[in-house]
Amino acid sequence: MGLRAYLLKRLLNTFILIIFVITLNFIIFELMPGLQGAIVNLISNPRGNEDPARQQALLKLYGLCSSFVNGTCVPEPIWNRFGTYFVNMLSFRFGDSFQTGQPVLHDMIGTGKLQNTLLLLGTATALSLLIGTLLGVLVASRRGSLLDSGWVTTSLVTFSLPTFYMGLIFILVFAQWLQWFPAGSVTPAEWALGLPPLSQQILVRLQHLFLPALTLTLFFYGGHLLLTRATMLEALSEDYIVTARAKGVSQRSILFKHALKNAALPLVTNAALSFGSILSGAIITETVFNWDGLGLWIWNSIGWKDFPVMQAIFYIVALCVIAANLFSDIIYGVLDPRIKYQ
């Protein structure tokens, strides 16, 4: 199988997987209780004098009723609803949020939630991958030493601690006691009245970013360290490493040019999936630090029973993970030519 056939096969598998995700997402929310009740609560007048015409129009809009006979809802056939849903998902028409009444994409992009999550999760993911990979290579080269035991233990501890616990400890120490960093939010409240100079904006945003990014970096890096260490230990036991050492190749070249290169495939998958799951947000961390991102948005949407938002987020996160897998498959074919011929 050549490279072109390999890519076509992966693209076909990706398209089939997207269809499966759309179907599964539809089934999940169809079986989830409370959808019609949430819509009825949304369209009801709090004073009790609801407008029947408005209720009927909105029930049709959300696909729950195809028509009304003597004021009674005639349910929309499920296949019609699925067809409409399928087209809307492919065209990224997610409808309006129950909470704000605005289009879901507007709430996601126009209010800065997407940008805030990309900033926080992107920074934490990149730092944790870099730190975890470098430390994993280092401890693998000194297997059984005090350095190896110390870093493995530390990574297991930080990986096991709940993020809300680490976040609250950091708020207590760095925000309350030392007052080095703000306790939460993306920007100061006074910025609503006017923005300061750009240089000051960057500094203040970095201060607000530090504690949540530190929390997530400490939580993530341990998994990357342990995976890198495991793959490096396997690579360092191969015969070509023994041969390279017998030829007098430097330790740095052995670690990074020989062992790490051949141990890179699992690390590529790990990195791709880590970046692919960025848009899922960090619900607990964003809630603890009141970070106005997608994670906090998901949490609020669950409380509001905001089904359009939850459907959109779950679908977009699934798409990102699928794209990450496709990207890693392509990188596999580039890094290891043997893969695309299998």
Q: What's the count of helices (H) and strands (E) in the chain, helices before strands?
A: 16, 2
Amino acid symbol at 103 = P
pLDDT value of residue 37: 60
Distances in Å between the alpha carbon of 8 and those of 11, 40, 68, 328, 329?
Answer: 5, 46, 48, 15, 12
Rounded Cα gap, residues 110 and 36, in angstroms: 28
- Cβ(137)–Cβ(260) under 8 Å? yes
Strand duo 72-75 + 65-69: pairing = antiparallel
pLDDT value of residue 193: 63
pLDDT tens over the chain, length 342 residues: 566 777 788 888 889 999 999 999 888 887 877 665 666 565 554 444 456 676 666 666 666 666 666 666 666 778 888 888 888 888 888 888 878 878 889 999 988 898 999 999 999 999 999 999 999 999 988 888 898 899 999 999 998 888 999 999 999 999 999 889 998 888 777 766 667 777 778 888 899 999 999 999 999 999 999 999 999 888 888 888 888 888 888 888 888 888 888 888 788 888 888 887 787 767 889 999 998 888 889 888 888 888 888 889 889 888 888 888 888 777 776 666 665 545
- The CATH architecture that domain 113-292 belongs to is Orthogonal Bundle (1.10)
Tokens of 304: 């509001």
The closest of 298, 294, 295 to 307, measured between CA atoms, is 298
pLDDT value of residue 48: 46
The closest of 117, 163, 101 to 304, measured between CA atoms, is 101
233: number of CA atoms within 13 Å, CB side?
A: 13
- Cβ(85)–Cβ(26) under 8 Å? yes
- Cβ(118)–Cβ(294) under 8 Å? no
Place of tokens 């999940």: 28
Place of tokens 């496709």: 326
The H or E element containing residue 273 is helix 264-276
> Domain-by-domain residue ranges, the chain?
32-109, 113-292
- Cβ(154)–Cβ(242) under 8 Å? no
- Cβ(117)–Cβ(297) under 8 Å? no
pLDDT value of residue 59: 66
Rounded Cα gap, residues 260 and 256, in angstroms: 5
The closest of 163, 286, 296, 263 to 221, measured between CA atoms, is 163
306: number of CA atoms within 13 Å, CB side?
A: 25
